[in-house]
Structure 1
Amino acid sequence: MLKRTRSIVCLCIATALSTPISTNANSLDLPDIGTAAGGTLTIDQELVYGDAYMRIIRGSQPIVNDPVLNEYISNLGHRLVANANDVKTPFEFFMIRDRNINAFAFFGGYVALHSGLFLHAQSESEIASVIAHEIAHVTQRHLARSMEDQARRSPATIAALAASVLLAIAAPEAGIAAITATTAGSMQSQINYTRSNEKEADRFGINTLAKAGFDVKAMPRFFGRLADEYRYASTPPPMLLTHPLPEDRITDSRERARQYPPLKVSPSLDYHLARARIVARYAGIENDSALDWFERKLKKAPASLVPSLEYGKALVYLDSKKLDKAEPILTKLITNDPLNTFYLDAISDLHIEQNKPELAIKEMKSALTRKPNNPVLTINYANALLEKEQYQEGIRVLQRYTHDNPNDTNGWHLLSKANISLANSDEDLAARAEILALQAQWNKAIQYYTQASQLAELGSLKQARYDARIDQLMIQRDRFLSLQ
């Protein structure tokens, strides 16, 4: 469903070089410089830039708009945020479909994970170690501090540097040129600064891991495995370009991990379910190859992880329309774990493929009584209602869903579909306008809302709602354009 495109240029968002870290792991005796950039770029300004960057990314990158995976990485990310230091912004975690190993963070608490990370991380603690490192880049305001440092050494203003990053996301070659043109001072000075960032991100990240109940040894273990695998590669993955792994950094992180009490962490079924879903649907692997991968893993998997591999097989069967093979697997899985949203999402898809949307409606409605307002269950419930041609009820559910989850394009797409079915052209235009606004396509979004207003009854509350939204979008557009 999503096409692969070039991965985003991380620029100074994910810092470039590293240096040895102190082995005093638990004391966190670094100076409190997380707010050092406050005089040049406020938290509120960071939020504005972060929102702008994210809108461009939505329109230019193959974001994985998968409700099940979004729920998983959001829950994992916020578990770490709850145990991080110096949190001053909200956080949003999202996935980009790209087999390259990479992660990056930017203004406003946005953290991106490449799907390729899940193909290489062997445990939840390993993926958590990457996320914790990126969270630290945000909490310690490394991007703002880097811009402050560059502005101090050049005639460029902090606003010009922030705009350069904005431009780089929209047009990478132009953005890199802009940053090069506005950056002065010696290269050694810049390297030292970015090494300091990496030192902080490792230090605070591993502390966050420990407080959140993850295996701190996962960080050096994952980094060491990556370094060994790509030691002689002519083209290392993006993560090793933005976060190089010299032996001394791995050694230091290993020493730091040893200073925390040993912790035995049980394998996370949810992590392995997420990994199986990525292998089945987002790794670009042919169905037969994916099935072979699951079968090979099943031969040596512990009993606790067998369900995740069976689930992966069921998804491959489901996507290749082999419903007779998918059904018994999913039925067994959901019988043993009836409220698991990975399984409920798949069983809903199965019933719809079987032309039995009423069964999907029944399953989702029942599960929602136990998990009210769960986004995975709600979006599947709405989808099943539309498949059953219960459009009015589907629209009611989706109106609430898009109110609670305005940044999820899945809700707006389904709302558009439902209104098309009822020939509600104005509401269809309004739903599509919201998708365009999320991608920074302001003029087209305003155009769609203008058309919707013209279709609405003159002087009606609906027309007033459309007109009010036009005013809001014009303000957002002007603010967005002023950043460039």
Structure 2
Amino acid sequence: MGVIALLPRTGVAASLVRDADIEHALTQLAAPVLRAAGLSPSQVGIYVVQDNQMNAFVLDRTAIYIHSGMILRMSKASELQSVIAHEAAHIANGHLTRRYANMQTARNTAALGAALSVAAGALSGNGAAAGSVAFGIASSAQRVFFGHTRAEESAADQSGMRYLAASGIETDGAVSVMELFAGQEALPTNRQDIYARSHPLSRDRLRQIKALAASYGKRGKPDPNADYWFDRAKGKLSAFTRNPKWTFQRMKESPYPDVRAMREAVAWHRQNRTNKALAALDRARAARGNDPFYADLRGQILFESRNWGAAANTYAGALKAAPNNTMILAGYGRSLVALGGQQNLKNAVGYLERATARDWRNDLALRDLGTAYAKLGQTGMASVVTAERHAMRGRSREARILAQRASDLLPRGSAGWRRAQDVLNSVPEK
């Protein structure tokens, strides 16, 4: 959608930070590692969880989740790539099927909000919160989601280091990450970093990783492209999550002129200095040519400045450069919803349906799609889309109520009616 979206928390549910640019950058960093693991970069997404603590985890074979705090603590690309490699190893080594085989489905996949809620409850040590999520889990959330054994962690370490070496990525990054957590086991559980609780640490593991790094030697070398994408992802994430004053003081640390200008643009935007933001962003765009993600950011700035017509035109241009990007599709749809009018709303439905069909994690796109249907007077479709959104967030009661309403309003056997049945069949009754 182009807009960096900090989805509101509900209960213990974790939130995703959705941004086309950041996710593209993380995909560039992950691609060589995923290929080395025998996984397709187009089928394993890298998503950011809004949480200041350091952690990374997997829930299924389609995604790796990394806390924003983890990315912001990393100092170089190879460190973040080592985290991705470790989580990719859990997928490739089949650890997921042993840990979790009873995930409910809503439309295309499990209710993300409920899954992340369980994860949040398990990681926080709040077993009651985790267990309260009606998700068909027989054992405790901690055992199911994060029951990593030391044997699994050792295997993932070995595989992850092999993926790094095979990709030509320096393995010292993995050592640096592990050293960040050195001594965690000596702390009381409530003072340990989440990563230490979800990924059992030991001095033996650290020794093993150091030995593996030494055995692979200096095969890897810094990749300028990886360094660039790391700086871009971290730079944009920090610009949106930290105080603008901090960004102004630190943006010169970015070695790439366009990233510096992008960070400045975000900081000005967050201070509602739209003209200064757009001027800074123009410098970033000039340095990168026809970069769809800087056009996407321009669309966001214009949209949030309530210049909806200019935002729609900008998103349309970004979409021409990246026609398959679901976030940009959704951003264009959102701007059309804001513009209003029957034709704009009809067009918005088309773009938003395309976006959400391929990216079910996009909470805000589902919200916008429901709004578009409601404004068009299509109450049944508005209900089913909103039901899907509630299901994704783990709100079972609300999801079932709206899905039943949609089922009553829509023609039996229609596509929308079938979607309502999917929600009713997959979301548990409370």
Contact residue 434 and residue 445 of structure 1 kept, 8 A: yes
Summarize deviations over 1:85-132 as a string: whole Å, max 9, x none: 589x96443221111111122344542211001111112221110111
How far apart in 2 are the matches of 1:176 and 1:385?
41
1:265 aligns with 2:216: no
Contact residue 290 and residue 316 of structure 1 kept, 8 A: yes
Over aligned residue pairs, what C-alpha RMSD do you find? 3.7
How far apart in 1 are the matches of 2:142 and 2:245?
51
Match of 2:361, SS state, is coil
Q: Which residue of 1 aligns with 2:89?
A: 136
Superposition pairs for residues 287-326 of structure 1, below 5 Å? 287-294=244-251, 298=252, 300-302=253-255, 305-326=256-277
Offset at 1:274? 1.4
Offset at 1:328? 1.1
The alignment's TM-score, normalised by the length of structure 1, stands at: 0.70
How far apart in 2 are the matches of 1:273 and 1:127?
13
Pick the aligned partner of 2:75 from 106, 116, 122: 122
Pick the aligned partner of 1:388 from 295, 318, 339: 339
Offset at 1:438? 1.8
Summarize deviations over 1:26-79 as a string: whole Å, max 9, x none: xxxxxxxxxxxxxxxxxxxxxxxxxxxxxxxxxx22222334334443454454
Q: Which residue of 2 aligns with 1:401?
A: 355
Q: Which residue of 2 aligns with 1:187?
A: none
Summarize deviations over 1:189-215 as a string: whole Å, max 9, x none: xx9x92221211111001112233422
Superposition pairs for residues 167-186 of structure 1, below 5 Å? 169=119, 172-174=126-128, 179=139
1:362 aligns with 2:313: yes
Contact residue 170 and residue 222 of structure 2 kept, 8 A: yes
Return closer, same or farther for 1:103/1:406 CA change in 2, 3 Å cut-off. closer
Number of matched pairs: 391
Q: Which residue of 2 aligns with 1:466?
A: 416
Pick the aligned partner of 1:281 from 230, 240, 262: 240
Match of 2:89, SS state, is helix
Ranges in structure 2 where 5+ consecutive residues have no aligned partner: 1-5, 103-113, 133-137
Offset at 1:143? 5.1
Return closer, same or farther for 1:436/1:200 CA change in 2, 3 Å cut-off. same
Greater mean alpha carbon deviation, residues 211-220 or residues 69-78: 69-78
1:224 aligns with 2:179: yes
Letter in 1 for 2:417: D
Q: Which residue of 2 aligns with 1:205?
A: 160
Return closer, same or farther for 1:366/1:341 CA change in 2, 3 Å cut-off. closer
Pick the aligned partner of 2:283 from 316, 319, 332: 332
Return closer, same or farther for 1:307/1:180 CA change in 2, 3 Å cut-off. closer
Summarize deviations over 1:300-351 as a string: whole Å, max 9, x none: 543xx23223312211211221112211110111122133344122111222
Offset at 1:354? 4.5
How far apart in 2 are the matches of 1:452 and 1:416?
12
Match of 1:64, SS state, is strand
The alignment's TM-score, normalised by the length of structure 2, stands at: 0.77
Query: Larger Cα Rg: Structure 1 or Structure 2?
Result: 1
How far apart in 1 are the matches of 2:34 and 2:329?
25
Letter in 1 for 2:234: R
Identity of aligned residues (%): 21
Contact residue 149 and residue 200 of structure 2 kept, 8 A: no
1:252 aligns with 2:208: yes
Contact residue 86 and residue 140 of structure 1 kept, 8 A: no
Q: Which residue of 2 aligns with 1:448?
A: 402
Contact residue 368 and residue 378 of structure 1 kept, 8 A: yes
Letter in 2 for 1:217: D
Return closer, same or farther for 1:6/1:431 CA change in 2, 3 Å cut-off. closer
1:84 aligns with 2:84: no
Match of 1:82, SS state, is helix
Match of 2:66, SS state, is strand
Greater mean alpha carbon deviation, residues 137-146 or residues 118-127: 137-146
